[in-house]
Structure 1
Amino acid sequence: MKQQTDVLIIGAGPSGSSAACLLRQKGYQVTIIEKQYFPRFSIGESLLPQSMVFLQEAGLLDAVAEHAKPCHFQFKNGAAFLRGEQTNYYDFTEKFSEGPGTTWQVRRALFDEILAKGAQQQGTDLRFGHEVIAVDIAADQPCLTVKNPEGEQYQIQAKFLLDASGFGRILPKLLDLEYPSDFPVRQALFTHIEDGIQQHPAFDRNKILITVHEKDHRAWYWTIPFADGRSSFGIVAEPEFFQKYHVADASQNENDVLMKRILADDAALSDVLKHAKFDTPVRTLVGYSANVKQLYGRHFALLGNAGEFLDPVFSSGVTIALKSSSMAVPLVDRVLQGQSVDWQQQYETPLRRGIHVFRAYVESWYQGEFQDVVFSVNQNDDVRRMVSALLAGYAWDESNPMNNESKRRLKSLAEFCRLQTA
């Protein structure tokens, strides 16, 4: 006999756990199928203030706040930028859009576990170590074939299916919904370090530090401080960039050597991290940007990174994940109430509208235009607040002029900033 539930969710990350909480608030039976066991390592540690709205909505914000100190989550109020001798920063409390202006920088293993436990406490049936083997959406209700930790298979059927599987991208792969991102293939090297930073004019523990490589503006570093003197540290560039620094050394971990060589080639950031201890193996991820043909189908929808992932440069991943849950759950509720829903107009189009704003800034960053805006000296205060709002995650605020026709306005703004510094 097939098991039954109201809503099936694949994945217990931020989008899956928050969706489960929102559905439980409406009284639905919810089951999450999660392949891994929590806590588990994940990047995307720098949250955006917009996320706080969605965590509050899901009834999860208090739990995160309670664990912030024991888990060494770092208070965050902005983003700082470094390029050679140039520095600048955006204070998220000084932004155009209404809403929270502060958040945290978190170890995702602990943060995601807090959200998952919150979903369980609200009554979600969360099954760790269970793997989706197949999906059938042809029947009146979608059905998953799942393998449990003992290797036994079972089937579970639901009235609606949400894919929150992140980089696993279960439904896009099983239903042939994937297509290549038009972003260039990029690679990330990342680790956690004991940063050793006591005081430095370019560093503020309350802000993520984004550093542009002095010799190649398409390459950049992230430094995300935690509250215990450690930081998440990563390097992002196209694979060809990393090949220039590659030196075979069988005696050491290749990625560890590569990261240190690239850091050493940037004098400004090397000075910031001159006392850092690299005590954790370096990991790598290549070709992470992805897209799908559509974000919904018959009795299913895709949430967060399962649908689209852009780039880590502005830390938009968790915000998009939580926003997608916030938008999808009211529509799932309507479907389960027997009402009609236009998923294209009520979910995909408005969700992608904000994603496209993030995309415009990401593309402008790698082209160098937005970097010129960030490092310009004489910035208009009103425009600065508009940009700060976007960097704080408020990409869906249509009252923000910089969110409308973002590509054109960013290009014009960059030209103006260049003239100012010429």
Structure 2
Amino acid sequence: MNTENQHYDVVIIGAGPSGAVAASLLVKRGWQVLVLEQQLFPRFSIGESLLPQCMEYLEQAGLLELLHSNAAALGFQFKNGAAFQRSGEHASIDFTEKFSQGPGTTYQVKRADFDKCLADGAAQQGAEIRYQHTVVAYHNLAEGAQLEVKDQQQNNYKVTARFVLDASGFGRVLPRLLDLEQPSNFPVRSAFFSHFKDGIVDDSFDRNKILINVHPIHKDVWYWLIPFSDGTASIGVVAEPTRFAKDVESLSCLNDFIEQDPFLAQLLNKREAIGAARSISGYSANVKSLVGNNFALLGNAGEFLDPVFSSGVTIALKSASLIAPLVDSHLRGEEVDFVADYSKPLQSGVDCFRTYVSAWYDGRFQDVIFYTEQNHQVREMISAILAGYAWDTENPFVKQSERRLTTLVALCQS
């Protein structure tokens, strides 16, 4: 590779969903785009249960048909909602019955294959992607930035760009390099998870929905069960670190928690783990700013809340959808207010999700979900948010999320 300085209109750090969508949107507008990805695809990632709102952003980027055409072969599972279980209480949300306009169905995906599918689509549209290339330094320039990059042979080279997008997810490259990180206001939590041959034979189990299961004793501990169409599933448990025994192997820890819940233990009594289990801790994150001189942070590189309502990929794709036309205008010499037109709109939806995530952990939103006398119209408004439509301010539960939810909780608990 030519190690002399190379120049692009846009350099994107990370080839995950937000990077692939942003790259696709920008090459469609005629810009020369380079994507630098530290890992080799396919590679494992969590965040496997998409929300229907994602489908609009994939369609904007010209990637939706690629997803549809590969879904069956890759074991992706049609998804139309979410199911909930708490000590014998059952509830479900159908995303096709929602307040907001837009798709009501999506997929549960194996992220290694999903991410590679989108990245391949972005490359087919004209984005250049370099795998196993790591950004190690960032320097501001008068009209852009210079990145120092290390390739797979540990050779260093430099790239300049008129604009840089950080789509590095949990890698959080620019937040680390530019000292943008700040603590999340969420408690530190850990997750243990793995893929299984699930062996589920219960005919009442709906594979078209993610199952969110509350621990029978600790309401702040929950499990995900994400079925795929090939008889496998992603299973995980989330709790504050003090709930987990120290020095216990990850799969043993996960299996022990599954056995603590009678419903899950019975449903999954024929499960077989596929490979080792994994764990992550302290994944909730925040930053001082989502934008700076000639750069912006996308998706998890900016802020990650919590996996409970599968909002991560939706926020990532929303960020790509919002930023691409602004970068396009900026590159054309137009005046752009990235804070007003990117940071604030993106944050409004993140804050809506935050309301419901926080209320899930303190039990208030759980009481709403399991309430048996739900108003149909309110139910559709809540369904829209859980389907990812957290930016639809026509929905009162989006526009005034905290106040409306507090009122609803009071009604359900009275």
TM range (shorter): over 0.9
**Alpha-carbon displacement from aligned partner over 1:254-290 (angstroms, at most 9, x marks no partner):** 1111111111111121121122112321100000000
Matched residue SS, 2:273: coil
Alignment pair present for 1:82 and 2:77: no
Output one character per residue of 1:341-399: Cα deviation in whole Å (capped at 9) or x when no partner.
11111110010000000000000000100000000100000000000000000000000
Match of 2:131 in 1: 128
In 1, Cα distance between the equivalents of 2:122 and 2:399? 36
Of 109, 114, 126, which residue of structure 1 is paired with 2:112?
109
In the other structure, the counterpart of 1:355 is 350
Q: Supply the distance in 2 between the matched residues of 1:117 and 1:239 (Cα, whole angstroms).
A: 37
Gaps of 5+ in 2: none
State the match for 1:240 in structure 2: 242
Determine helix, strand or coil for the equivalent of 1:309: coil
Q: How many residues align?
A: 411
- Residue 54 of structure 1 is aligned with which of 48, 53, 57? 57
Q: Deviations over 1:151-178 (max 9, x none)?
A: 1111000111000000000000000000
1:164 matched to 2:159:
no
Number of the residue aligned with 2:202: 199
Matches within 5 A, 1:19-418: 19-201=22-204, 203-243=205-245, 254-418=249-413
For 1:103 and 1:279, the matched residues in 2 are separated by: 25
CA distance in 2, matches of 1:25, 1:13: 18
Q: Distance in 1 between matches of 2:21 and 2:118?
A: 7
Query: CA offset at residue 232 of structure 1?
Result: 0.3
Paired amino acid for 1:124:
A
Give the C-alpha shift of residue 150 in structure 1. 1.3
2-side partners of 1:39 and 1:305: how far apart? 19
- SS of equivalent residue, structure 1 residue 79: strand
Shift of 1:416: 0.8
CA deviations 1:169-194 (Å, max 9, x no partner) are: 00000000000001000000010011
One-letter amino acid of the counterpart of residue 388, structure 1:
S
Secondary structure of 1:282's aligned partner: strand
* 2:194–2:251 contact (8 Å) kept in structure 1: no
Counterpart CA distance in 1 for 2:209 and 2:282 is: 27
TM-score (norm. length: structure 1): 0.96
Q: State the AA in 2 paired with 1:336.
A: L
Equivalent AA in structure 1 for residue 157 of structure 2: Y
Q: Secondary structure at the match of 1:364?
A: helix
What's the CA shift string for 1:19-59, capped at 9, x where partnerless? Answer: 00000110000000001000000000000000000000000
User: In structure 2, what residue type is equivalent to 1:11?
Assistant: G
**Residue 200 of structure 1: how far off its partner (Å):** 4.5
Which whole-Å CA distance do the structure 1 matches of 2:218 and 2:250 have between them? Answer: 20
Counterpart-to-counterpart distance in 1, 2:261 and 2:203: 16
Alignment pair present for 1:16 and 2:11: no
TM-score by length of 2: 0.98
Q: What are the Cα deviations for residues 46-84 of structure 1, in whole angstroms up to 9, with x where unaligned?
A: 000000000000000000100001001000000000001
SS of equivalent to 2:275: coil
Contact 1:360–1:406 at 8 Å: present in 2 too? yes
Contact 2:12 2:36 in 1 (8 A): yes
Contact 1:200–1:272 (CA under 8 A) maintained in structure 2:
no
What is the one-letter code of the residue matched to 2:78?
A: F
Q: Residues 364 and 407 of structure 1 are in contact (CA less than 8 Å); yes or no, is this contact kept in structure 2?
A: no
Q: Distance in 2 between matches of 1:340 and 1:9?
A: 22
Query: Partners of 1:256 and 1:14 in 2: how far apart?
Result: 28
The RMSD of aligned alpha carbons is 1.0
C-alpha separation in 1, matches of 2:40 and 2:201: 36
Q: Which runs of 5+ in 1 are unaligned?
A: none
